[in-house]
Amino acid sequence: MGQKSNIQWTDATWNIAVGCTKVDEDCKFCYMYRDSFVNTRYNPFVVRKTKTVFDLPLKIKEPSKIFTSSLTDVFHLDCDGFRSEMWDIIRKCPQHTFQILTKRPERIIENTPIDFLQKDSNVWLGTSIGSQLSIGRIRDLIAPITNGIKFLSLEPLHGEIELPLDEFVDYGHKVKDLIDWVIIGGESGNETGVYRYRPCKLEWIEKIVNQCKEANIPVFVKQMGTHLAKELEMSDRHGGNIDEFPPTLQLREFPKIN
């Protein structure tokens, strides 16, 4: 739960809590549950506010991208009692960019102060989608329309996805007008035991990359996942070494900020 993060698209990870509740098949092999069997300091089924790291951003002086929060969902119902404290800390750290990723985007608007939904906010709001079955979360993320950075994390990618980028949200905006960034990653997991991994296909990743390019949306290919790492004989078991990606997928772009 410390400062430096191994996640390629961020600089640091800040966990305001540990523990979560699975919402659908995207959560099947969740790394938080998997890692809890190694790190027995927390019960993955119970959402508990952290103590020693809760004020972590206040201690990071260098402007950083901070993933908030990797071991829980910030918009989980059980975070309602202390989420306001999180917003207070974010307000005190204008030098940082806070990347919030949720599988509960329908709770964003009612639980986010209006200043964090504005154009110049240092909060990026995103949602996770693993297959076409959870594509509806895009609508929840971008409606109602706000001006802050919005992004999609298509990880763990365990099924083919057709992004509805040309669909109209209203008479003036299409989905592609309101998405600022797309992250892609195959699922990582164990060879044995409960928390394994599902296949990810190169053509699924290529299809998403092509859609994003056509829509002029920055894309960050995070990892191939364990299945493709084995299939392509990659050195990193999660398939996260960009030098071993197919050349057309060696993309690690970030949102365009005015």
**DSSP letters for the chain:** --SB---TT-SEE--SEE-----SGGGTT-HHHHHHTT-TTS-TTS-EE-STTTTGGGG--S--EEE--TTS-TTSGGGTTTHHHHHHHHHT-TTSEEEEEES-GGGHHHHS-GGGGSTT-SEEEEEE--SGGGTTHHHHHHSS--SS-EEEEEEEE-S-----TTSBSSSS-BHHHH--EEEEEE----SSSSS------HHHHHHHHHHHHHTT--EEEEE--HHHHHHTT-SSTT---GGGS-GGG--B------
In a domain? residue 128: yes
212-239 mean pLDDT: 97
How many other C-beta atoms are found inside a 10 Å radius of the C-beta of residue 52?
Answer: 7
Predicted confidence band of residue 258 (pLDDT cuts 50, 70, 90): low
Q: In the chain, how many domains are there?
A: 1
Domain carrying residue 96: 12-249
pLDDT of residue 77: 98
pLDDT of residue 171: 80
pLDDT of residue 36: 80
17-38 mean pLDDT: 91
In a domain? residue 183: yes
Outline where 29-72 has alpha helix (H): 31-36
pLDDT tens per residue across span 96-147: 999 999 999 999 999 999 999 988 899 999 999 999 999 999 999 998 788 8
In a domain? residue 255: no
In a domain? residue 182: yes
Least confident of 82-86, 94-98, 146-150: 146-150
Which among 129, 128, 156, 126 is positioned nearest to 141, based on CA atoms?
126
Tell me the pTM. Answer: 0.95
> Residues near 248 by Cβ (< 8 Å), separated by ≥ 6?
206, 209
| pLDDT surpassing 90 at residue 11 | yes
In a domain? residue 103: yes
Least confident of 49-53, 63-67, 142-146, 226-230: 142-146
In a domain? residue 215: yes
In a domain? residue 3: no
Residue type, 25: E
| pLDDT surpassing 50 at residue 1 | no
In a domain? residue 256: no
pLDDT tens per residue across span 166-197: 999 988 899 999 999 999 999 999 999 889 99
Tokens of 229: 């790492």
* Residue 159 exposure: Cα atoms within 13 Å on the Cβ side: 12
Residues 70 and 99: their CA atoms lie apart, in Å, by 10
Question: What is the percent of the chain with per-residue pLDDT over 70, rounded to a whole number?
Answer: 97
The domain that contains 211 carries what CATH number? 3.20.20
Is the C-alpha dihedral spanning 199, 205, 208, 210 positive or negative? negative
Q: Name the residue with higher pLDDT: 48 or 257.
A: 48
Helix (H, G, I), strand (E, B) or coil at 35: helix
